[in-house]
Amino acid sequence: MSRKKTAEEYEKTFAFRFFRWLSGEKDPYIGNVEMQPQKKYEPDHEAALRREKEHDAIMDKVYDTGHNRWLHLFHRLYQTTSVLFCLFLIALLLVTVSYLPANGTVTRPVNNEVSARYIEKGLEETGAVNIVAGMILDYRAFDTLGESHVLFVATITVLILLRLNKTEKDEAEVSDRRFEPKNDAILQVVATFLVPVIIIFGIYIILNGHLGPGGGFSGGAVIGAGLVLYLNAFGFKKTERFFTEKTYKWVCFFSLSFYCLAKSYSFYTGANHLHSVIPKGTPGAILSSGLILPLNIAVGLVVACTIYAFYAMFRKGGF
Amino acid sequence: MNFICNIPFFSILLSLFSGTVCSVLSAKAAKIVNRVVILAVGLMSAILLLYLLSTGESFIYWMGHFPAPWGNEIRAGVLEAGMALFFCIIMYLSMAGGAHKLPGEVVESKHNLYYILVNLLLSSLLALVYTNDMFTAYVFVEINTISACGLIMIRQVGRTIEAAVRYMIMSLLGSGLLLFGLCIMYDLTGHLLMSNIKESVGLIVANGEYQIPLIVSVALMCTGLCIKSALFPFHAWLPDAYGYSTVSSAAILSSLVSKGYIFLLIKIIYRVIGFSVFNSTRMIDVLFVFGLMGMIFGSLSAIKENDVRRMIAFSSVAQIGYIYMGFGMGTQAGMVASIFHILSHAATKSLLFIAAIGLTDVSGGSRRFADLTGSAYRNKWAGVAFTAGSLSMVGVPLFSGFISKLLFAQAAVQVEGKMLASLIVLGISTVLNAVYFMKTVIRIYTATTETPYEGITFRHMKAYAVTLVFFILLNVILGVSSQPVVDMIGQGLAMFA
Amino acid sequence: MGPNLFANYGEAVSAILFCIGFTNLLLQTNLIKKIIGLNIMDSAIYLFLAEKGYITGRVAPIVADGVTSTESYINPIPSGLVLTGIVVSVSVTALMLSLTIRLYTRYHTLDLDEISTQLKREGK
Amino acid sequence: MYLILLSILFPAAAGLFLLIRGRTPLSGEKGNTDRKTLLALTGCFLVITASLVFASLLTVKEGFTLFFLTKTLPIYFRIDGVGRLFSLLAVIVLPCAGFFSFAYMKHEERESRYYGFYLLVFGVLNGLCFAGNLITFYLFFELLTLSSMPLVLHSGSKEAVMAGLKYLFYSLCGAYAALFGIYFLYQNCDSLTFTTDGALRASAITQQGGFLLLTAFVMLLGFGVKAGMFPMHAWLPAAHPVAPAPASAVLSAVIVKAGVLAIIRVLAMFGKDFLRGTWVQSGWIILTLVTVFMGSLLAYREPVLKKRLAYSTVSQISYILFGLAVMDETSFTGALFHVLAHGFVKAALFLCAGAIIYKTGKTRVEEMRGIGKEMPLTMWCFTIASLGLIGIPPTGGFVSKWYLALGSLESGLPVFGVLGPVILLLSALLTAGYLLPLTIHGFFPGADYDYGSLQKKEPCKLMTVPVFILTFLSVLIGLFPNLVDGIIVMAAARR
Amino acid sequence: MIVSVILIPFITGILVPVIPFRKRWQKEVFLETAVVLNSILVWFLLLHHSDSTFLLAHFTGNLNISFRVDGMSMVFAGLVSALWPFATLYAFEYMTKEEHENVFFLFYTLTYGVTLGIALAANLLTMYFFYELLTLVTVPLVMHTLTREAVLASRKYLYYSLGGAAFAFLGLIMVIVYGSTTDFILGGVLDPAKTAGKTNVLLLIYVMAFLGFGVKAAVCPFNAWLPQAGVAPTPVTALLHAVAVVKSGAFAIIRLTYYSFGTDFLKGTWAQYAVMSVVMFTIVYGCSRAVKETHLKRRLAYSTISNLSYILFGAVIMTPLGLVGALTHLVFHAVMKISSFFCAGAVMHQTGRHYVHELNGLGYKMPRVLGIFTISALALMGVPGLAGFVSKWNLAGAAAESGNPLAFGGIACLLVSALLTAIYMLTIVVRAFFPGKDFDYRTVSDIRDPNWKMLLPLFVFSIFIILFGVYSQPVVDFFMSVATGVV
């Protein structure tokens, strides 16, 4: 059953449009080519700022670890992958290890002419009974020079981070007094006995660095431990009598300068094939093995001071 | 032995020693010492470079009384000397350009500490450049890392400390991997000196023994150095570290520190493993892919950034991607391009950082783009310099960036399988570079009618302006007469082998 | 798998330790735990190096009684490397600890993510 | 040679003179004297031009090259048979309509602009007729579109402007489609000078035959736009009603014929032999037949007089095109004859319609009851002209349609040979259906017509005389087809 | 000598802000003299050129900055130097209403030098160098008004241009590596020995480089900058965005196609079809956008987009005739478009009206300007007897002659575009002259034609349009000799 369409309906039909075109009534450019004014471009500063703020808000939300579900999920994923990564790395390294030369055997590439010469000629060339000490302070002294500067630069960064200026220092002092142990009788008594022993032991290690196990670093660490114990037992007031920041600065400066200069001389002479005036001494004696002993002393001083300085810094932010 | 041959040794020791000396000096004296040392080292490096160019041969310098497999050595060739010279120039200019910001951002009493760090950083860079011993390299990598960390957090705001922590974590991961790789390598070869390792590696490869450990060791070392030099997936620490530290630090970090590691990697590739052996591992493909990804993603992150300095920092990620792409090509030409890009990027990036600080200074210290509007009119010198740097980054002829792009593309064409990928990514990355750098340039040249900020004239920033001029000159020189530099790099690489 | 996995048990253990330390350094959000991870990692490397130097049946390279033959002492080089490594490790640990202290006094938390969030909130 | 040039340049120059002199929009206010000079000038120009054209038609035999556009594109003029025929049509219709408009345009604004463009059109038409090669032809074809467009949109109303633009763009569309073909003709012919039997190189036909057929079809379609052929006819019913009546007359009688002329030329360039029996021919015939039938049908249902005439034009022009499409000598003659017949008749009809509009203001057919009583002379002319269009014997229309049907039947085309005449007849019936009611109701308004209010509204001489002349001519060629035959034979032979 | 014509504009430009002119006319005279002198010098150089190459500097390796005058350079340099003095004259008048004149003239004159540098470059590297430079010196001109719109526009311009150059750069690399030299030699410099087996890669790079240079020539996906750049002062839009800058893009593509890669290498490959399709699409696209656009200058800019692709269409036909077509349109379109732009500028300058619908009835008040506009509109449409027809004829003729089926489609595109051109140009004309019945003439009562400084260039250009239209033979002959390598 068909019914007559209304005019509006008819206008939507294809037939109508076709017929309109056929009879030339359709104007292709009415509504198309006709020129309408376009909106003028308005600079919109506000919107830009608003956008920026919204961006920040979104970022806030993203970083809101407590409430962001996706972030949680991401963390989970991150952790899982990290564990997997760790396992993978373990597997990889184990495979690698399994292909490495067998442990404890003499035929490994490690045991070549280098170590042989260190062992065979070490005593003669460096004058140190402790071959390891001879190696690190003579054969490969440049590494060790660098190493001591690593320590130096680490203290510098710790200083940068933790050293307080005058006013802060006073506050820190107050809080230190309040919270840290003080005038503990047991500790003080024990320290009175132990500290000298520890320090003397440290000195012994340093001085015997070229003769037996030990050396500047270990000895310095022991001395440093003694100083720390002293500080713990008696507090800053006592230590400040003999050890202030200035002391530390100058000790470090002189030790390192000495180290630097001494090694420079040694390197220079070595490289230019000059004769070094420093005597090797008799192997086995305290005063032997050329520069190794003084260097051990210098390093020991630096390390002792540094260990103490680290502790003081961590505890209070100053000496 | 010629006296000039002592120069590498002198320059390392001088900068080390000056670090120690600075610890007892006042801020002012430390500054002078610092400048003098950098200048002196630069001068010495220049002399050394001339000497090496004239002799045409590299030389080995004993650090001690013992020869190769026993003692420690350093080695100097054209490339090393050139690098040292260039690092000194960049460092001096960065220090000079950022000096005026230091008092505001760092407590007065810690200034001398800052200079200690800079001196030690210089010495570690020099050591990395000159050393011929893997373990020495490791030790100085650590000095480099710690002092760089110090440079980041010398300006003590929350962001920098956090950035320093992140930097340290990534760096330590990197050093750990490097050290482990090094140990495996030592186990395989029994040597620590580069030349000796190389001989042994040659033997190992020839025998066919220990293939897997060798590859793993190479991979570990590479990964470690990649992490340290912020190759793409390991760059998370970089934007904060570069973006918030004091300006000299940012300039030095972005242009020198990461480059030191990259140079070490080059040394490892050439002097430890051997170029051909390295190329036969799949490592170069990995580097290539990550390089390309870095080029794209670094730029994309930079585009999204709303903070000018972080934007520049992200751009560094992209540029480091370029360098690794050059490595990844596995050809001599790619390597030359990478090395040239190290120079060009160093010259440009530090310029950009220093120019950016000039712009933010006249915008109330804000680094948001909205506040930077029109800042180039307030600080004309910085505006011009920033523009020049941007153009160089985008690769406009006359500036150094163009030459490195040219070299990269030329190198890429010679590598059959990687040519198309690298060329296309090169193009896309240039487009992206153009987007964010030009956005900034246009922004700073957009005049605003009402601005709360005051301009600054030449009289108030003579040193700063002069520094900028030098930087631009450096860029243009690299861009215009690049041939000698390229030749030198080629010569240096030849000496490596 | 190569032939020497069980012969190299020391190295194997050090490899596992290394990975544990590595992952801790990477994964943990707590800064102190990260530092512990770092130390584990470093120690693993020292263990590895120590194993490298060891030769069955020989003693530490301290010349006793003037005997300087290769057969009696272990390889001195790894020991030297370990010494250097330890110092580096100490320095780095100190630096990390001081950074941690600094962050803790400022943000009263050791969680790195938490710190980041607070930083973003600060907006600077 | 100079006559040709003069007959083109003189009206053009005169038109430009009028345009520049009277460019102020309010010139009408300056009073009557001003208008009189304008009319006098225009009249003089029209007469001089017409005589120049006649003179050149009679005397000039040789073609000549004016100059070269580029090395291989000469601007070349020549008078041949077809050109002569069309020129004749133009030179009669244009002055008639021109004089008619002196009266008609009395109340319009900016007459000088109108006359200026009118004269321009005259000149361009002359150029078109005298063009000797395709490029020259194309040049004038474009100019014709451009210069006649202002005539369409003269009134300046929104519809007029839109219709003018529509006209312009349809025509240009056609012209460019044709230009597409010209490029390829140029490639595949030795020269673009008009010939009678195909100028394509033999090698081109063998190599690119299929493509050239497509080209030919595109060209036919393109020029067909101007001739109001089916798919692109829509501009005609839009443009005619809004233009002033004399302009519509010229448009419908002459300008539309330019399309026909163009198609004749194209046909000659391609050669009938090349096209005969191909899909191009059948497609074209279908289009023309559709147009013929559709035009009549649309006219039949159209209430507005001028628009009805416009649809009629659509239909009638396709008669001509059909005659051409059959490609038979007889139908060709018929087509040429219809050019003249339709030209005179349609001009007369439009002028009548113009007179009615001018006098009574009535535009719709149903308002025109009793119009024959008011304007008997005009309506008589209208009736006679209608008969001519329907094709009742004494008029020219009969002769032409006879030839067309005859030719179609003779041609031996498979389907269309027969279908064509049938549709022509159907269309003629429809023509009668849409034109005669006007006459019938005009003269016999019916019983309820109010004779009391009737008043004579016969227009002035300036209007009636041109109508007379045109009506007379349309009858004349019907009564004495031989008068025209001479020209037509000449055209058929020398084309 | 060659260098001097590039340097003189540089020096002049830099002198403008430096010399303290007391009166405005002194500056005008100074500038105009310099520009005219330089133009004369250029023409002298072109007419008395020798074939030798002038080496300015070594860049790196075998790459150098050098200049030479060959056929193509003569066309482009001649065109630029002929138009520049007029544009400068026009700019004097136009800039009276704008700010920071000195900066404007500084960069305006610099651009002259850079454009000549592109024209006279002897090898691809030199051209690339000046091409990049062109981007940089024109950005300040686009930014000149310093409105937000202008800033956005110039930003976009920079992105597009530099990005495009990045891809064009790849083409440069290919030519450096696979070519025997980077110098321009008609027929290409690719070394068949080196390219063996790498054809597809080279073609891909060619397409990229084409699109890269195509950015300046506003090829379709990369055309968005051009209409936006219309915010610049009209002398800039007219001369740079209708002639110098965009034509440099087209010029560069021609150099790349005909003088570096070589048509033998490219013809009939998929690369040709690819670029041709892009170009054809642009032809139609530009026009359609122009029809839709209601801002006068932007409409003309879209028209430029379409017309530039005409040139490129000629270029990618890759026959000598195609090159002739391209060159013809290069020159003729320059004259037509600069003329229509100057008209638009004159209207804007005199009335401050920017949109097409605001132009109603102006034809009676500014008959000279709009009359000339009509002429250029007709010429752009390709009405026979005006310049546009000749160039289109050459283009389409070349396409028809090439026998390339896609090129036939290209002819259709040209014609569709011509129709659309008619639509968007003539609607303006109709509006201006036939404002409609109920138009209130009082709204335009105090508007009049501009003064001679603006009109003189317009007249000269329209004379050239007509002259080229009716008597183009010598010019086309010259192009023919360029295309066949005789010059």
Whole-number pLDDT of residue E17: 79
Dist CA A253 CA A247 (whole Å)? 10
Counting the structural domains of chain E, the total is 1
Q: Do A179 and A291 belong together in one domain?
A: yes
Q: Is A280 on the interface with B (CB under 8 A)?
A: no
pLDDT-based confidence at residue B189 (cuts at 50, 70, 90): confident
Q: Is A17 on the interface with D (CB under 8 A)?
A: no
Counting the structural domains of chain A, the total is 2
Phi, psi at E384, each rounded to 5°: -60, 145
**E377 with D131: CB under 8 angstroms?**
no
- Mean pLDDT along residues A234-247: 81
- Mean pLDDT along residues D131-136: 86
Can you give the residue ranges of every domain in chain B? 1-281, 282-497
Phi, psi at E397, each rounded to 5°: -60, -45
Report CB contact under 8 Å: B143, A146.
Answer: yes
Domain that holds residue E414: 292-307+319-487
Nearest chain B alpha carbon to E126 = B397
Whole-number pLDDT of residue D28: 45
Cα separations in angstroms, D104 against D11, D111, D246, D367, D459: 21, 11, 8, 21, 10
DSSP assignment of B45-88 equals HHHHHHHHHHH---EEEEESS--TTTSEEEEE-HHHHHHHHHHH
Whole-number pLDDT of residue B472: 92
In total, chain E counts a number of residues equal to: 487
Handedness of CA D73, D74, D75, D80 (dihedral sign): negative
Report CB contact under 8 Å: E151, B398.
Answer: no
Cα A7–Cα A11–Cα A17 angle in degrees, nearest 5: 145
Task: Flag whether A122 is in a domain.
Answer: no
Q: Do A182 and A307 belong together in one domain?
A: yes
Whole-number pLDDT of residue D27: 44
Of the candidates E146, E157, E141, the residue with the CA atom closest to the CA atom of residue E106: E141
pLDDT-based confidence at residue A27 (cuts at 50, 70, 90): low
Handedness of CA E267, E273, E274, E280 (dihedral sign): positive
Select the residue of D165, D169, D238 nearest A24 (Cβ to Cβ): D238
Residue C97 tokens, joined: 């600890």
Express each pLDDT in E20-52 by its tens digit.
777 777 888 888 888 888 888 888 888 887 777
Select the residue of C3, C12, C84 nearest A136 (Cβ to Cβ): C84
Q: Are chains B and D in contact at 3+ CB pairs closer than 8 Å?
A: no
Select the residue of B396, B403, B439 nearest E155 (Cβ to Cβ): B439
Whole-number pLDDT of residue A35: 47
Burial class (CB in 10 A: 0-12, 13-18, 19+), D360: middle
Query: Which amino acid belongs to residue E129?
Result: F
Does residue A51 have a pLDDT over 80? no
Express each pLDDT in D252-308 by its tens digit.
888 888 889 898 888 888 888 888 888 888 888 888 888 888 888 888 888 888 888
Rg, Å, chain A Cα set: 39
Phi, psi at B61, each rounded to 5°: -125, 125
Select the residue of A154, A256, A270 nearest B64 (Cβ to Cβ): A270
Neighbouring C-alpha atoms within 13 Å toward the C-beta of E283:
25
Report CB contact under 8 Å: E294, A43.
Answer: no
Express each pLDDT in D375-406 by its tens digit.
888 888 888 888 888 888 777 888 888 888 88
CA distance A39 to chain C (A): 37
Nearest chain A alpha carbon to E426 = A33
- Mean pLDDT along residues B239-258: 86
Bridge-based pairing of strands E63-67 and B72-76 is unpaired
- The torsion defined by the Cα of B339, B345, B347 and B348, in degrees rounded to 10, comes to 160
Report CB contact under 8 Å: C7, A135.
Answer: no
Select the residue of E415, E434, E476 nearest D156 (Cβ to Cβ): E434
Contact list in A for residue E294 (CB cut-off 8 A) is: 35-38
**E375 with A55: CB under 8 angstroms?**
no
Of the candidates E189, E192, E135, the residue with the CA atom closest to the CA atom of residue E159: E135
Q: Do A59 and A138 belong together in one domain?
A: no
Dist CA C97 CA C83 (whole Å)? 21
- Taking residue D197's Cβ as centre, other Cβ atoms within 10 Å add up to 12
Cα B78–Cα B79–Cα B80 angle in degrees, nearest 5: 95
Dist CA B33 CA B17 (whole Å)? 11
Q: Do A64 and A157 belong together in one domain?
A: no
Cα separations in angstroms, E100 against E18, E106, E135: 14, 10, 20
Of the candidates A157, C111, C29, the residue with the CA atom closest to the CA atom of residue B149: A157
Does residue A44 have a pLDDT over 70? no
**C76 with A132: CB under 8 angstroms?**
yes
Express each pLDDT in A164-191 by its tens digit.
777 777 777 777 666 666 677 888 888 8
Rg, Å, chain B Cα set: 22
A-proximal residues of E, 303-362, CB under 8 Å? 355-357
**E35 with E90: CB under 8 angstroms?**
no
Task: Flag whether E222 is in a domain.
Answer: no
Cα separations in angstroms, D249 against B49, B474, D338, D375: 95, 81, 16, 19
Of the candidates E419, E354, D9, D367, the residue with the CA atom closest to the CA atom of residue A29: E419
Rg, Å, chain C Cα set: 20
Whole-number pLDDT of residue B121: 93
Dist CA B323 CA B349 (whole Å)? 14
Dist CA E333 CA E305 (whole Å)? 11
Q: Please give the residue that has the higher pLDDT: either A259 or D372.
A: A259
A152 contacts: CB under 8 Å, gap ≥ 6: A252, A256, A302, A306, B19, B20, B120
B238 contacts: CB under 8 Å, gap ≥ 6: B230, B313, B314, B316, B317
Of the candidates D59, C88, E358, E115, the residue with the CA atom closest to the CA atom of residue B143: C88
- Mean pLDDT along residues D446-454: 70
- The torsion defined by the Cα of D52, D57, D63 and D64, in degrees rounded to 10, comes to 0
Dist CA E127 CA E141 (whole Å)? 21
- Domains annotated for chain C, with CATH where assigned, are 9-122 (1.10.287.3510)
> What end-to-end distance do the CA atoms of chain E give, in Å?
20
Does residue A77 have a pLDDT over 90? no
Neighbouring C-alpha atoms within 13 Å toward the C-beta of E426:
25
Domain that holds residue A58: 47-99
**E219 with E278: CB under 8 angstroms?**
yes
Dist CA D333 CA D316 (whole Å)? 16
Does residue B452 have a pLDDT over 70? no
Cα separations in angstroms, E82 against E40, E105, E297, E307, E464: 9, 18, 23, 20, 11
Q: Is C82 on the interface with B (CB under 8 A)?
A: no
Q: How many CB pairs under 8 A join B and E?
A: 98
E-strand ranges in chain A read: none
Residue B427 tokens, joined: 């193009």
pLDDT-based confidence at residue D25 (cuts at 50, 70, 90): very low
Whole-number pLDDT of residue A62: 63
Q: Is D170 on the interface with E (CB under 8 A)?
A: no
Q: Is E419 on the interface with A (CB under 8 A)?
A: no
Q: Of A221-230, D16-25, D127-136, D229-238, which gets the smallest average pLDDT?
A: D16-25
Dist CA D495 CA D81 (whole Å)? 5
Q: Is B441 on the interface with E (CB under 8 A)?
A: yes
Q: Do A155 and A222 belong together in one domain?
A: yes
**B91 with B41: CB under 8 angstroms?**
no
Select the residue of E61, E146, E173 nearest B447 (Cβ to Cβ): E146
Contact list in C for residue A309 (CB cut-off 8 A) is: none
Whole-number pLDDT of residue D26: 42
Whole-number pLDDT of residue D357: 84
Which of A5-9, B269-273, B460-464, C61-65 is modeled with the greatest confidence? B269-273
Rg, Å, chain D Cα set: 22
Phi, psi at A180, each rounded to 5°: -90, 155
Whole-number pLDDT of residue A38: 46
Cα separations in angstroms, B131 against A301, B184, B195, E307: 28, 20, 11, 63
Express each pLDDT in E167-220 by its tens digit.
888 888 888 888 888 888 888 888 888 777 788 888 888 898 898 898 888 888
Dist CA E216 CA E249 (whole Å)? 5
Whole-number pLDDT of residue D495: 43
Is the whole-model pTM more than 0.80?
yes
Cα separations in angstroms, D434 against B287, D339, D396, D446, E420: 86, 21, 19, 18, 38
Burial class (CB in 10 A: 0-12, 13-18, 19+), E190: buried
Question: Which residue, among D69, D169, D188, would best test binding to E if mutated, counting the most E CBs under 10 Å from its CB?
Answer: D69
Q: Of A178-187, B350-359, C37-46, which gets the smallest average pLDDT?
A: A178-187
* Spacing of C-alpha A72 from chain mean position: 29
Q: Do A92 and A162 belong together in one domain?
A: no
Mean residue pLDDT across chain B: 87
Dist CA D282 CA D216 (whole Å)? 13
Whole-number pLDDT of residue B178: 92
**B292 with B408: CB under 8 angstroms?**
no
- Mean pLDDT along residues E10-24: 80
Express each pLDDT in D87-133 by its tens digit.
888 888 888 888 888 888 777 777 778 888 888 888 898 888 888 88
Handedness of CA A59, A61, A66, A67 (dihedral sign): negative
**B423 with E172: CB under 8 angstroms?**
no
Dist CA B93 CA B95 (whole Å)? 5
pLDDT-based confidence at residue A26 (cuts at 50, 70, 90): low
Residue holding tokens 């020029």? D223
- Mean pLDDT along residues B291-302: 90
